[in-house]
Structure 1
């Protein structure tokens, strides 16, 4: 059970050393630091890969980590499934209710609203629509999961589009990038049959 930290240095450039020391004080054995604004977020991918069942994920703040509502929800569900504790130092949030016992549920909800109120109005409208339509969110996540599972199973992008209803390859690539799925380049013409033949 390790404490593993993540910092987006581009946002906390002047306070990186202070935050690192704070994370170490909370027991972090490994801290991933995103040096640039690269959309691939290499250190974030390494951070996710380094987390195991029962570990603790330590952030400077939610605003420093998540780009949008979907990213946050996907990570929270992932941590719930893996029994990973989430600690956000600046937000005084601990999913085990040990570090900040005085925090209330209302504080957590206000935190989520505060983080995404900084986005533009269009994003805010999308967030409100998702918050009030859990069935839509569930359907979308299931569709994303189908894309990821089919790709990992060896289906071609064309086959995935036919099965999921997406009309453009860019939609498939966007989902795979969004959830940090390693892709094969330059050829995307894999088939499920090839994968099955290898496994026999």
Structure 2
């Protein structure tokens, strides 16, 4: 996702660090949409540390734009970055609205917010940022472990599965047993019957009709010899 600078001219923009465990995502989206945000930028778990979309957004913001965030700890990664961000917004006259901190830099929303609330937000920022970072890293590590734990299918097994699929598809298409046998590459015709039986395919070819009997039954061996 590349943020075009031309889209932001005196605009309302939303930004959310949308990690998997963040339970207010839909609520924040609705708030931002109701406020009139023309776009909501959402960063995902694996980008929590580098935040490429946040960096693009900082470049794209124009003088007089309005930026809506869920919390300062959701968008900012530390006290030093907070100071730099606030100076950036001051210079560019960008209005910042933090929904859950209930802070509006233009003092139009949240009139009940006091200076002590702002100071409390700043004091809690490092702890909240660390908690969010740990949650994001945990989700990324968990996903990596889940992928690593998936059983690996060898090329030999894949070839076997492809051969069995060929037998089943040819039989379902109405091809004779002999043609299926030659196409499958098996050394014996009995292998074709074995695969059909394995996958529960009911035989419907003349002498080969109904369920396949056990190998030690004489009539089954005769049927195989005649086919």
Q: Normalization by structure 2: what TM-score?
A: 0.49
2:19 is the alignment partner of 1:10: yes
Unpaired segments ≥5 residues, structure 2: 1-9, 131-227
Distance 1:12 1:50, change over 3 A: farther
Q: Is the 8 A contact 1:8 1:34 kept in 2?
A: yes
- The 5 Å alignment of 1:127-138 reads none
- The 5 Å alignment of 1:137-152 reads none
Number of residue pairs aligned between Structure 1 and Structure 2: 120
Q: Is the 8 A contact 1:56 1:86 kept in 2?
A: yes
- The 5 Å alignment of 1:170-181 reads none
**Alpha-carbon distance between aligned partners in 1 of 2:103 and 2:20, rounded to the nearest angstrom:** 20
**Alpha-carbon distance between aligned partners in 2 of 1:47 and 1:93, rounded to the nearest angstrom:** 20
Unpaired segments ≥5 residues, structure 1: 121-200
Counterpart of 1:49 (choices 53, 59, 70) is 59
Q: Is the 8 A contact 2:29 2:40 kept in 1?
A: yes
- The 5 Å alignment of 1:144-163 reads none
How well do the aligned residues superpose, as a CA RMSD in angstroms?
A: 1.7
Counterpart of 2:101 (choices 91, 108, 111) is 91
2:32 is the alignment partner of 1:23: yes
Residue in 1 that maps onto 2:75: 65
Offset at residue 15 of structure 1 (A): 2.7
